[in-house]
């Protein structure tokens, strides 16, 4: 049996979705506990907005069990997604750490499947689950190293342009991924749900503090892949309520472009 720490960063609070996320998390934790895979859990919610009272209420409404401890970190302002997660990662004394978005719903056996896999594969330092959208489409949580073309077409191009570069996008989004068995050696995974060895996260310094929003998960994936393997686990399943950056306004587009520039400057430019 192992211990687990969990961090969730909240900025613009959706109370209903956060409650669903927390309830699904409790169910998944209980299942892993029943399978004798999980012992103690520390849940940290980091408030990057002005949601302290609403988050406290959501935590109070959770039916906590003695082996789950929760805490709220607030008052630091909007320090960015990765920096906020680091507040929990770098102080964790648990063997494993789950980085989770508040818009993610976990399947009942998701943590059980990941814990069992990680315990049997010491060479794996981080794992991504199989993700679906609310409409049951594949959320494509695994990615290959992005070209500038792939990022532009996927994020900003109209439908007809996407059709022109369909093969390019399919390669970037791992459409050839085997969904019947685990895959080791994944290049990049989404930050909406990352299950990692805490020692590995600390070894690479957690998320890069220079990223405010976007690409901090890709940067972390690149660093983690230097010290272990990243795996895709199709039997661990989540639903992700997420949106594309282009649909969130010009400020998010600016964040996206600035972070992309930093990512390419650090890890190398790929045009096509």
List the one residue out of 170, 116, 141 whose CA is nearest residue 238: 141
| 30 phi and psi angles, rounded to 5 deg | -60, -40
pTM value is 0.94
Q: Distance between CA atoms of 159 and 53, rounded to whole angstroms? A: 42
Tokens of 257: 């472009």
How many helical (H) and strand (E) elements, i.e. helices and strands, does the chain have?
10, 11
**Sequence-ordered strand ranges (E) for 65-123:** 68-73, 96-100, 104-106
Q: How far apart are CA 203 and CA 233, in angstroms?
A: 23
Which residues neighbour 120 within 8 Å (Cβ) at sequence distance 6 or greater?
none
Domains plus CATH for the chain?
Answer: 2-267 (3.90.550.10)
d(CA 6, CA 225): 21
Per-residue pLDDT of the chain (272 residues; tens, 9 = 90+): 799 999 999 998 899 999 999 999 999 999 999 999 999 999 999 999 889 999 988 888 876 677 899 999 998 888 999 999 999 999 999 999 999 999 999 999 999 999 999 999 999 999 999 999 999 999 999 999 999 998 888 877 777 777 888 898 999 999 999 999 999 999 999 999 999 999 999 999 999 999 998 999 999 999 999 999 999 999 999 999 975 544 567 787 888 999 999 999 999 999 98
Cα gap 165→139, rounded to integer Å: 19
State whether residue 94 is helix, strand or coil. Answer: coil
Beta strands per DSSP E along the chain:
2-10, 38-47, 68-73, 96-100, 104-106, 124-132, 142-143, 183-184, 188-189, 193-197, 229-240
Q: How far apart are CA 67 and CA 8, in angstroms?
A: 18
Judge contact between 151 and 263, C-beta under 8 A.
Answer: no
């Amino acid at each position: 049996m192992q211990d687990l720490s969990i961090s969730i960063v909240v900025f613009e609070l959706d109370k209903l979705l956060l409650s669903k996320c927390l309830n699904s998390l409790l169910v998944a934790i209980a299942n892993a506990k029943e399978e004798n895979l999980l012992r103690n859990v520390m849940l940290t919610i980091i408030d990057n907005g002005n949601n302290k009272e609403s988050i406290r209420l959501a935590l109070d409404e959770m039916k906590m069990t003695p082996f789950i401890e929760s805490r709220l970190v607030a008052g630091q302002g909007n320090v960015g997604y990765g920096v906020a997660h680091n507040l929990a990662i770098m102080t964790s004394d648990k063997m494993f750490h789950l980085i989770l978005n508040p818009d993610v719903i976990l399947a009942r056996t998701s943590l059980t499947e990941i814990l069992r896999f990680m315990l049997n594969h010491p060479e794996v330092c981080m794992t991504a689950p199989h993700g679906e959208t609310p409409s049951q489409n594949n959320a494509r949580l695994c990615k290959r190293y992005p070209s500038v073309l792939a990022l532009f077409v996927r994020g900003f191009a109209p439908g007809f342009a996407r059709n022109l570069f369909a093969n390019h996008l399919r390669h970037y989004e791992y459409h050839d991924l085997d969904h019947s068995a685990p895959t080791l050696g994944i290049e990049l995974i989404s930050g909406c749900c990352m299950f990692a060895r805490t020692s590995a996260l600390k070894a690479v310094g957690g998320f890069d503090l220079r990223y405010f929003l976007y690409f901090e998960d890709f940067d972390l994936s690149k660093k983690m892949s230097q010290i272990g393997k990243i795996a895709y686990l199709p039997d661990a399943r989540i639903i992700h309520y997420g949106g594309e950056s282009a649909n969130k306004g010009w400020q998010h587009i600016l964040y996206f472009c600035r972070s992309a520039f930093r990512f390419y400057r650090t890890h190398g430019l790929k045009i096509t």
